[in-house]
Structure formats: C-alpha cells, structure tokens
Chains A and B, each alone.
Chain A
C-alpha cells in the first residue's frame, strides 16, 4: 500500500505476545471478541426462544389440546416475547455493530473498550437473571407486563421481579453500548469519511443507538415504578388507590414503539450494505436512505398509542396517532423503493446473503402493508389483539430483523472466521426459512380475521380455527429445520469452510481491507476514504498500479464454497 502516504500511528501488533486460551474470552476488551461473545450468546437465546415458540405451536396445533397447562402457556408466551426482543434482536445488532462498526469506519476499537466488555456481561447476566426464574416461578404476565395483571395482587410470583431485573440489566447494557457506539462513530472515523461517506449500516447503528438512549431509559423508569408498586407500597398503577392502569400502557409503548425501530433499523442497514455488493451497483439514493432512517426514528417516537386504539381515548388522540403512523410509512416506503432501484439494471448475484436480504425485503413489505390496516384506528378496533397482529409484527420483526441477521451472518462469517459458509447448504436453508416463515405466519392473518384473539392457550373445535393453526404449526417446524441447517453450516464451516481471503465478495466497505479474521489492531494502515465505497476505489487503484484486474466480472464465480 505504498500509494497511501504514511501517517504517524500507534501499532500494537506483535509488540505484546498475543494472549491465548479460554480465559482471554472472560477478560477481553477487544471489540471483535466481544462481538463474537454477543453473537454466540444471541444464538443460544435465539434457539431457546425458538423452542418456546415451538412449544406454543404444538399446544395450538390442535383444538382443545392439553399439551401445556394455561399457567405454563402464559409463562412460555412471556419468555418467548421477552427473549426474542430483549435477548436476541436488540443484542444481535449490538453484536454485529461491535464486530463491524470499528472495522467499517476504519477504527482500531470502540471508544471505550472496557465499558464495552461491561455491556456484554450485563447483557449475559440479564439473560441469566430471567432464565434463573425458570427453576422457580417464571413471569407470566406477557412481555408487555400490563398492569394490573402484573401487580402483586394478580401475579404474586417473583418471576415478575426476575423480568424487571432482566429489563434493568439488559437495558443498562444497551444504553452503555449505545453511548459507546455514538462516541465511536462521532470521533473515530477514518480520515476522509465525512457523514456523507459513512456506510449505511453505520448510519443505522448511530440512529439505533440514539433511539436506545431515548427509549430504554424511559423503560427503565417505568419498570422501576412497577417494582416499587409491587414491593414498596407505591400506587402508580393501582386504580383503587388513585393510580392509573392506562399510565403503564402509555409508558410501556412510549418505549415499545421506538423499540420496534431499534429492532429493524439495523436490519435496514444490513439490506443497504449487502444489496449494492451483490448487485454490483452503488446504493440508489444514499442520502434519501440515510435521511429516511433518521425520519423513521423521529416519527417512531410519536406513534406509540397506536398500540392502544381500543382503550378509552378521544377521537382527536386516535386521529393523531393514525396520522403519525401513516407518516412513518412514507420514509419506510422510500427505503423499499430505493432497494428495488438498487437491484434495477445491476448484475445480481444470487448469493445466500443477498437471498436472505431480498427475502427479508419481500417479507417486510407485507408487514408494512398490514401495518397500514392497523394504523387506521376503526379497522384496528377489529384487528388489534388478534392473530392478525401476531402475523403483522412477525412479518416486520422477523421479516426484517431475523432475515437480515441470518443474511448478515452469511455475509460477514468469512470476515469473522476467515472461512466461507457453504453456499449450497445456505440456499437450502434460505428456501426452508422463507417457506417455513410464510407457512407459519401468512395463515395467521386469516385466523385473526376469523376472530381468534392473541395469547389464548386453547380454542374450541367449534371455533373453526383448527386448520389455520395446524398449517401454522407445520410451518414453525419447517422454520426450525432451516435454523438447524444454518447452525450446522456454521459448525461445519468453522473447520472446513473454504478459506476466504481478505475480500471474498469484492465488497465495498473498509472491513474487507484487512485480513480475515482481522488482527487485534484491525488495520496497520488506515486508508483515506474518498467515497461511500472505499474498497472499490482501492481495487481500482491497485488495478491501475499493478495491471492485474481487480474488478468484479459478471457471471464469473467469486469463490468456490
């Protein structure tokens, strides 16, 4: 890299003896190791949350089933929602951001590496605090813990306290992590990387971090009020003592709706990174996508009461929250149009990461459209709290976030491990994932329209919901099979995957500039950034200087895997 002027910098590589052994995983402050710790922990919780989903699907597979007792069903329902939101999707983005944020902006670590390690351990212990309750009395008031049901009078068990401690620990973990990401992004970008040259995944992580600070602090205050009401005699939520049961719903959704965007904005960031790489075309409308991300986050703070359209509220309030929910569809739509336009006239390679992204966009679009139904409050009066809503938010949260997280795994696995995952196995996994998902959730719209409420542990055979539920249960097992295949693919590829090299995809961003896996200091030299796609510039420069073609040629296989 003689082409780049030498800049004074500190290089720690090969000065200290590299530490090895399992204890380094406990003491590490390296953002990459912490990223891997996050991602492995997420995988464990994802499997646990998935098994909980399967247990519920078995119970609902046939009418009047007695596989689970009502008590167990409510516990599993609560654990599934809580696990997937707090222990899987929020931290999975913290995991990917941990590993790739410094690499993508050309930094050697995050701004506060020790705080970063603390964030991870708080997350782990938050998860353990919740799951320890499984051996005693798990929480059973739902992941939303509506009062008065979650008050001591109706839920006396300490599982509710376990839930509160988990929210506190993982919340603090996320907030500190967010502070870290913000500080890193604001201060540690490579020379030349202005705001207009920052990768879109980093834009989405920046906004994810700001949303976490706004939303999770609010939740921390709310669950503290719940803790006080339950144990120390306050009456924030008890209507018999002058408190308000509706207050909790407002406070919870004031966190809960921004949370939805905390879950999906980084997924949008992943789509915006992976699509241009495999379409071999720049992202269409970079500025519009970055602006839309900020717009969605801002509007996302103003829509919370659309979760509460059936509560006693005046028409003015209903109309306000309908219109704000409509508004948010505009920047979301803009993103989808931009992604389609990115593929348009490109040379699209059907790699596994791309398939997961396109599958995710196709799925999310459906969730976005059913969101319009739910935003129209009179229609919501029919649909809210039914399986239509269950289908809707799985189309958004699973459609965007879970598709994106598996896509991101296939995309970045070579960088993290130095080896490729099997494309063939990945494609089978994708097909099962896509088919299994739609088999599970498409039919749930119908169940909801037919009058099936959410969160019921059983239904009678006279209800007419048996067929829909059986289809859904079969779909859930197909989905589970796909996840198993991807896990098998990870296990196989760690040892036997094709060696990737630094830049197997011929991608656009700086993480591909360094070796795979990257050394502890990430980069010996940090290149100057001249565009949104610095790796394209670097390949062009190498081509000019050496005469060896570096560019991608359509139809030529990149890596055999």
Chain B
C-alpha cells in the first residue's frame, strides 16, 4: 500500500480534476485538500475492493449446491477483535495525517507580495481561522464578502484612502494572500470557488473566515488574467442557482490600475449622486 500511496501522491499534480478529484490549482489550501482527498481515496479504495471482493467471492464460492453443507459457525472472538482494532488503526492513521496537513489548508499562506506590490520578507505566519486572532492586516488583502439574495458583494480595504467595492466579480492580485470575512445580510449562503479551496457559510450574525492565494504563475504567458468561477452552495431561495461569483486574478500592476480606476469611478458616481441630491434639494427649496 505505501507504494500505491506514493504513486498516487506523485501522480496527483498531473491527474485531471473533475471526475475523480476535487478541483485545485488556484490556491495552496485547495491543493492541500486534494492531497488529503487522494490519501483517503487510496485507503478507501483498498477497503472497498477488499470487502466487495470478499462479499462477491462468498456469494459465488459458497452458493448453495447439492451436497454442500453450511458450516455452523457462531463467531470468532479473535477475528472480531482483530477487525475492530484494524478499523480503528486505519482511522487513527487518517486522523494523524489530517492534522499534519491541516495547517497548510487552514492557515493562510505567507503572501509573496505586499499590498504595496513589493515582495514580502519572511515574517510570522498569519492566521484567519475563527478561533485565532485576526491577521495584522498590512500585508494581506482582506476583503469583506457579503452574501445577499442573489449576489455577492465585495468590500475592499482602503488603500491610499480610497474606497472600493464590487459585485460578483472579485479582482485580486496573484501572489498575494487574500483573506475573506464572509457575512450575510439576509439568509444563509455559502461562499465557494472550488479551485480556491473550501466553502465558508455566510450566516447572518456571524463572520466566517476563508483565504486563498493564487500562485504567481497562474496567469499563462500572453494573458493578462486568470478566472475562477463558483457559485453559492447553500439553498438561499428561488434563484439560488443563479448566485454565481468569479475571482479574477491579475498581475499586481494591472490589479492596482483596476483598483484605482474603480475607486475613481465610484468617487465620480458618488459625486454625481451628491450633486443630483443637491440639485433636487435646492429645486425643492424654491
């Protein structure tokens, strides 16, 4: 079995996702989950083939035929203790392996580039699970993800005192660790971009945590962005199926340009709205 295991782990990066494995490739946590999945799949497959094999074998080999007599066996204590302990041992192994891989999946990876676009020197890891203190916040991009029937709203942190928000399309720089605070304003939703890791339920009244880091080399040569799609994974009403989201990874400079222009657009729209309001107020006043 160790041979099969090593083989499967080696094959993992090249095997195609979709029919047999969870999606991955967009973030280290998704890759970690996939490794864990493969390990369980190998153990599960061995057990599955073994037990189904025995079941089919006993059905065929011991099928009733003339002259055959059934052995009147009531049990075998040693055998029964053996398989109870065996089953428990496999589960202990799985537990150990899960906890070995857990930090890679749960704790946000160190970011490669900071919010200013400069490479980041190795400092202490950041944490973003619900029972850990919030990350320091100067190097990560922390986005508030707000679910509502039936769209996702993203609130970006202020950079250079600009305010940016977006709907359904989340633009992020590749190579930067993105931490998400997942919330909801109405019913329960679930944030999920399969290639970027697991789900985070968005439950009104609670803040859930999720993170991802798109690798620097995810954008193929000659292209300017990489797109990951997903959709709400918790029944949230009649149009649950239409609550889709995209995460669009860009090179830092492209992303910064998007951020600045988005901030300007929003600023402009707000100024126009304010002027509109003033006009209305003054016309009402006349």
A residues in contact (CB < 8 Å) with B:
70-71, 74, 140-142, 146-149, 154, 239-240, 244-246, 279-282, 284-288, 308, 310-316, 319, 322-323, 326-327, 329-330, 333-334, 336-338, 340-341, 343-350, 358, 361-362, 365-366, 369-370, 372-373, 376, 378-386, 446, 449-451, 453-459, 464, 553-556
Give Cα A343 to B201, complex, Å: 45
Q: A449-B22, A459-B241 are in contact. List 13 more A-B contacts (CB 8 A).
A: A239-B204, A246-B203, A284-B75, A308-B201, A327-B91, A336-B51, A345-B62, A347-B63, A365-B52, A369-B47, A372-B94, A379-B33, A453-B190
Q: How many A-B residue pairs have CB under 8 A?
A: 272
* Mask of B180-213 contacts with A, CB within 8 angstroms, 1/0: 0000001110101010011111011111110000
Q: A365 with B65: in contact, given A333-B83, A372-B40, A449-B19 (CB under 8 Å)?
A: no
**A314 touching B131 in the complex, CB below 8 Å, given contacts A379-B40, A554-B66:** yes
Chain A hits for B47, CB < 8 A: 369
The reply to whether B198 and A381 contact each other, CB–CB distance below 8 Å, is yes
The answer to whether B205 and A244 touch across the interface, beta carbons within 8 angstroms, is yes
Asked if B204 and A344 make an inter-chain contact with CB atoms under 8 angstroms apart, the answer reads no
Partner of A330, one of B76, B88, B234: B88
Contact of B91 among A287, A319, A326, A555 (CB under 8 A): A326
Closest Cβ neighbor of A377 among chain B residues? B98
Check B80–A288 contact: CB distance below 8 A: yes
Task: For A446, list chain B residues within 8 Å (CB).
Answer: 18-20
Distance (Å) between the CB of B120 and the closest chain A CB?
26
Instruction: Name the contact of A373 in the complex, choosing from B19, B37, B231, B232 (C-beta under 8 A).
Output: B37
CA distance A372 to B32 in the complex (A): 17
Binds A, one of B100-108, B162-170, B258-266, B272-280: B100-108
Q: If A70-B239, A347-B70, A376-B40 touch, does A382 touch B59 (CB 8 Å cutoff)?
A: no
Q: Is the CB of B94 within 8 A of A376?
A: yes
Separation of A362 and B55 alpha carbons in the complex (Å): 8
| Chain A residues near B95 (CB-CB < 8 A) | 322-323, 326
- B residues in contact with A336, CB < 8 Å: 51
- A142 and B235 in contact, given A337-B83, A382-B30, A449-B21 (Cβ under 8 angstroms): yes
CA–CA, A70 and B73, complex, Å: 57
Q: A334-B80, A555-B66 in contact; A450/B23 too (CB < 8 A)?
A: yes
Which chain A residue shows the least CB distance to B79?
Answer: A341
**Pairwise interchain contact B69-A554, C-beta atoms closer than 8 A:** yes
CB-CB under 8 A for A554 and B19, given A373-B37, A386-B233: no
Contacts of B36 in A (CB 8 A): 376, 378-379
A246 / chain B contacts, CB cutoff of 8 Å: 203, 205-206
Do A326 and B68 form a contact, CB below 8 Å, given A312-B209, A315-B129, A449-B22?
Answer: no
Q: For the complex, give the distance between the alpha carbons of A378 and B34 in Å.
A: 10
Contact A454/B235 with A369-B44, A376-B98, A378-B105 known, Cβ cut-off 8 Å: yes
Question: Is B240 an interface residue when CB atoms closer than 8 A count as contact?
Answer: yes
Instruction: With both chains docked as a complex, state the minimum distance between the C-beta of A128 and any C-beta of chain B, in angstroms.
Output: 26
Is there contact, CB below 8 Å, between B240 and A456?
Answer: yes
- Could you give, for residues 49-69 of chain B, a 1 whenever the CB lies within 8 Å of some chain A CB and a 0 otherwise? 001101100110011111111
The answer to whether residues A554 and B68 also contact, given A312-B130, A314-B130, A330-B88 and a CB cut-off of 8 A, is: yes
Report which of A240, A285, A344, A376 forms a contact with B62, defined as CB distance below 8 A.
A344
A315-B68 CB under 8 A given contacts A245-B203, A456-B241:
no
Which B residues are in CB contact (< 8 Å) with A451?
Answer: 23, 194, 230
Contacts A312-B130, A457-B241; A149 near B68 (Cβ below 8 A)? no
Closest to B188 in A: A146
CB proximity of B5 to chain A, nearest CB, Å: 16
Query: Could you list which residues of chain B lie within 8 angstroms of chain A, going by C-beta atoms?
Result: 17-23, 30, 32-33, 36-37, 40-41, 44, 47-48, 51-52, 54-55, 58-59, 62-76, 79-80, 83-84, 87-88, 91, 94-95, 98-99, 101-102, 105-106, 129-131, 149, 186-188, 190, 192, 194, 197-201, 203-209, 230-241
**Which residues on A sit within 8 Å (CB–CB) of B65?**
347, 554-555
A346 touches B44 (CB 8 A): no
Q: Which residue of B lies closest to A153 (CB)?
A: B186
Q: Which 5 A-B pairs have the closest CB atoms?
A: A381-B198, A239-B205, A555-B66, A456-B241, A314-B131
Minimum Cβ distance to chain A for residue B190 (Å): 6
Residues of chain B lying within 8 A (CB to CB) of residue A71: 238
Asked, given contacts A146-B188, A373-B44, A446-B19, whether A315 binds B106 with beta carbons under 8 Å apart, the answer is yes
Find out whether the CB atom of A555 lies under 8 angstroms from the CB atom of B70. Answer: no
A456 and B237 CA atoms in complex are apart in Å by 10
Tell me how far the C-beta of B78 lies from the nearest C-beta in chain A, rounded to whole angstroms: 12
B75 and A348: CB pair below 8 A? Answer: no
Give 28 A-B contacts (CB < 8 Å), ordered by A residue. A74-B235, A149-B236, A240-B204, A246-B203, A246-B205, A282-B74, A285-B76, A288-B75, A311-B206, A312-B201, A327-B91, A341-B79, A344-B62, A345-B62, A350-B63, A350-B64, A362-B55, A378-B98, A379-B33, A382-B23, A382-B197, A450-B23, A453-B192, A454-B233, A455-B240, A456-B240, A555-B66, A555-B68
- CA of A281 to CA of B62 in the docked complex: distance in angstroms? 11
B181 to chain A, nearest CB (A): 10
A337 cross-chain contacts in B, Cβ below 8 A: 51, 80, 83
B102 and A453 within 8 A (CB)? no
Chain A: CB-nearest residue to B40:
A373
Supposing A246-B203, A311-B201, A345-B70 touch, asked if A382 and B37 sit within 8 A by C-beta, the answer is yes
Quick check: B198 and A334 within 8 Å, CB to CB?
no
